[in-house]
Amino acid sequence: MMLKISRILFLTILSCLSTTVYAGQLIDGKVETKLVPGPVEYSVLLPDGYDATKDSLPLLLLLHGGGGDKSFLKSMKPMIEEMWNAKTLPPMVVATPSAGRSFYMDYKDGSQKWETFIVTDFLNHLRETYKVTKERKGTILFGISMGGMGALRMAFKYPEKFAALRRSNPASIRRSNGKTSSRAIASGVLRI
């Protein structure tokens, strides 16, 4: 009986050793900028083996929904790791900024420029700080709800910066005249 348990334990350990399991490293950071009230906090998920690689990895900008923040990436971490393990997602650096309820837009009054921040200061900071591609190829936008709307707009507005786009349930905005508004847009805060 003891021999049988030892054999099962040995085979279990052996099978674990022969299986690659990705466990990403979650890091928090800040970006100083004059474009929005700052510094802007963010989280980055680095794939297993990041420190050993000499190659630039793809960069995925994961934009949270309204009311979210950088902790959205922490909630997505198990799913991303599962996709890495299933080899349905290649190893890449994933970054999520805390953008509040900005809709990732530049404010009409110029007081906050979230879209400009994402496509300039934030993207440049990530490329200077992490081993990620500096090219359009391999730079991906993914957003959910408010982030989906921002990702769609930025991907179409800046096709030279992003190679791919994925959005989930992008927020829609209806204007007070029945076309497209949110409270922020109806009050004239955001530029469309």
Tens of pLDDT, residues 161-174: 999 988 776 666 55
pLDDT score, position 104: 97
Provide the number of structural domains found in the chain.
Answer: 1
DSSP state of 35: S
CATH number, domain with residue 107:
3.40.50.1820
Residue 49 covered by a domain: yes
Q: Which is more confident, 148 or 1?
A: 148
pLDDT of residue 178: 54
Residue 16 CA to residue 185 CA, distance in Å, equals: 54
Q: Is residue 159 part of a domain?
A: yes
Is the pLDDT at 110 greater than 90, yes or no? yes
Decide if 78 is inside a domain.
yes
Please indicate, yes or no, if residue 119 is contained in any of the structural domains.
yes
DSSP letter (8 states) at residue 162: -
The string of pLDDT tens digits covering residues 77-108 is: 999 999 999 999 999 999 999 999 999 999 99
Q: Which pLDDT belongs to residue 138?
A: 96
Domain assignment of residue 169, yes or no = yes
Cα distance between residue 89 and residue 187, in whole Å = 41
63 CB burial (10 A radius; 0-12, 13-18, 19+): buried
Report whether 150 contacts 115 (CB < 8 A). Answer: yes
Give the structural domain span for 50: 21-186
* Any domain includes 79: yes
Name which of 72, 75, 76, 92 is nearest 84 in CA terms: 92
pLDDT digits (tens, 9 = 90+) for 131-157: 999 999 999 999 999 999 999 999 999
pLDDT tens per residue across span 12-64: 443 444 345 568 999 999 999 999 998 999 999 999 999 988 999 999 999 99
Domain membership flag for residue 191: no
Residue 93 lies in a domain: yes
Phi, psi (rounded to 5 degrees) for 141? -110, 135
Give the closest residue to 29 by CA, choosing from 43, 39, 12.
43
